[in-house]
A and B are shown apart, each in its own frame.
Chain A
Amino acid sequence: SQTIHQWPATLVQPVGSPLSLECTVEGTSNPNLYWYRQAAGRGLQLLFYSVGIGQISSEVPQNLSASRPQDRQFILSSKKLLLSDSGFYLCAWSVMGSHNEQFFGPGTRLTVL
């Protein structure tokens, strides 16, 4: 069966520090991968999606970047965090060629102080 992992689960970082959040998927090949951010009490905002290694599409201009160095690995990064980067970051995957049902990871709670 397929599983999706995210780490860390929680993170507290100072303003201006770098960020690296990792997401890995097991049990499937060539998945579509997604990064979302959820502000407190809000819906999810799609940040990045990827249909293959090295293929990243950005949805909104921001202080973040994403990379996909391996088929089932998706990394969210920042060189210098802003206060507004605080939120709940969710990684998700869907079957190659389909953007229907998405399977979400447990999320990372990021607090920037």
Chain B
Amino acid sequence: SQQGEEDPQALSIQEGENATMNCSYKTSINNLQWYRQNSGRGLVHLILIRSNEREKHSGRLRVTLDTSKKSSSLLITASRAADTASYFCAPSNDYKLSFGAGTTVTVRA
């Protein structure tokens, strides 16, 4: 299965610190996407990185992809209380996004 598996399951940091979470998957992919979910809400697309890309930035987000290790990481720099949410990686091979259980990030003020 290409399902993403996020690590750690939960992360608690102080406001202003960086948060890093990792994603591993098992099969080949066309791209890998990261989504955020605030409690009880729908998911919001954060960033997409294609299989031929190694790093991508969007605002305070930095995503890396290592297809040889079948892994990705999401870095949130200078975290804010509003970054408190669950973060999901979703490896994609065609129509299907395979979500893992996510990393729950809590940013303490």
Asked if B42 and A99 sit within 8 Å, CB to CB, the answer is: no
For chain B, the count of residues having a C-beta within 8 Å of the partner chain is: 23
Most buried by A among B40, B43, B99, B102: B43
Looking at chain B's contact residues, the main secondary structure is loop
Assess whether A43 is in contact with B95, with CB atoms less than 8 Å apart.
Answer: no
Q: How many pairs of A and B residues are in contact by the CB < 8 Å rule?
A: 55
Q: How far is the CB of B45 from chain A (nearest CB, A)?
A: 5
For A43-65 the 0/1 string (1 means CB < 8 A from B) is 11110010100000001000000
B42 adjacent to A105 (CB under 8 Å): yes
Size range of the interface on A? 20 to 34
A107 within 8 A of B: yes
Q: Is A90 an interface residue (CB 8 A)?
A: yes
Q: Which residues of A contact B (CB under 8 A)?
A: 32, 36, 41-46, 49, 51, 59, 88, 90, 92, 99-107, 109
